Amino acid sequence: MASPPQSLEKVPSSADDPSPKEAPSSDQAISLTISHHGTPHVFHLPATSTILDLSSEIQTALSIPRSSQKLLIPKLGLLKPPFAPTLLTTLPSKKIQLLASTPSEIASVSAPRTASPLRSSSPLKAAAPSKTHDWRKAQDEATYTFHTLLPLPYLPDPERSRRYLARLRDDAGIKAAMRKHKFSVGVLTEMNPADHTTHESRTLGLNRNRGEVIELRLRTDAYDGYRDYKVIRKTLCHELAHNVFGEHDRNFWDLTGAIEKEVDRGDWRNGGRAISNEEFYNPDDRGEDGHVDGGGWSGGEFVLGGGGKEGSGGADGRGGMNRRELMAKAAEERMKRQARTGGGSGS
C-alpha cells in the first residue's frame, strides 16, 4: 500500500519577506558635540530626534533663542532657522558648530552707553583743504626774484630796512610781474637819502647794469621813518622796466605802465592798501617832489640824463659800483660798526 504524499512547507527567505524593517527603537540615544565659542557641549538625544529637537535642547541648556541659532555642519553647510525636521541620524557629522551670541552679549550691545564727557572746545580752527602745489610756479618764483636783500648796515635799524625789502620781494603783485617778464635781480638794496639829494631833486631809485643792482629810497630825508609803501613799490616798477630799456623812451614808459597794472592786479593780499600798523607809511609822502632816476646805469655810467658821469657817486663812494663791490662795501661798513660797538663796550 503506497504511502500518502508528504506536504513540503516552504520556508520564506529574507528576500521574499515582504514585511518592512523595524524602525530604530526610541530608547536608543545619539550623541552630538555642539561647539560654541570654543567650548564643546555634548547633547544626548533619542535616535528619532530631529534638528528641531536639537535646537530646543540648545535653547534650554545655553539660553540661546532658536531664532538666534545658526548651525554649521561639515559637508552640509550652514543651517539657519526655521530648521527643517531632519533626523539627526542622517547628518554626515556629529560635530556641529553653533554660531550665536549669548543673551548677556546681546544685552551688553543693546544697553545704552554712558555719554562720554564733552571735550573742551579747541581754539584751533578746522584745517582748510590743501591745494595742489604748483611746482612750476614755485620754481619760477625761485628763479625770477631778488636774490639778495642788502640794507645799509651803517644806517639806523638795518633789520627794519631788511624787512621792508623782504616785503617788496614777497609782494604778490611784484612776484607776478617778475614771473611774467622773467626778471631776475641780483641785489635789492636801499639808498642813503643824503647821497642822492640835491637842491634840485631827490633820486628815488636806481637800476645798475639792467638788474644787477636796484637801489630804492626807503627812508625819509630826516631818517626818522620810512616812506609810503605804495610810492616805493611804484618806484620799483619803474626800475624793473630798466631791466629791458635804459632810456626813458616810449617803449620804456609803455613797459612801466604795464608792470604797474600787473602789480596792482596781482596784489590780492592787500588790495593796494597801506601796510598794517603804518610801519612803512608816511601820509605826507607822495613821491611828487623827487625823480625816480636819470635812466639806467651801465658800466658805471648814466645811460641818459641826471648829469651823471663815469665813476660819479655820493659821499659813500657807491656810485657805479657793481654787485660784488656793493656787497663788499656793505660788509666793510658792518665790520667797522661792529668794531666801534666792541670798542665802546670795552672802555
Active site residues: 239
- How far is 333 from 339, CA to CA, in rounded Å? 10
Residue 41: closest CA among 28, 58, 55, 26:
58
- Cβ atoms of residues 181 and 263 within 8 Å: no
Which of these, 293, 315, 314, lies nearest to 304 by C-alpha position?
293
Pairing of strands 185-190, 146-150: parallel
DSSP 8-state symbol, 291: B
Distance CA 28, CA 44 (A): 10
**Torsion angle in degrees (nearest 10) through CA of 314, 189, 144, 238:** -60
- How many other CB atoms are there within 10 angstroms of residue 168's CB atom? 21
Can you list the pairs that 121-125 forms with residues at least 24 positions away whose Cβ atoms lie under 8 Å?
Answer: none
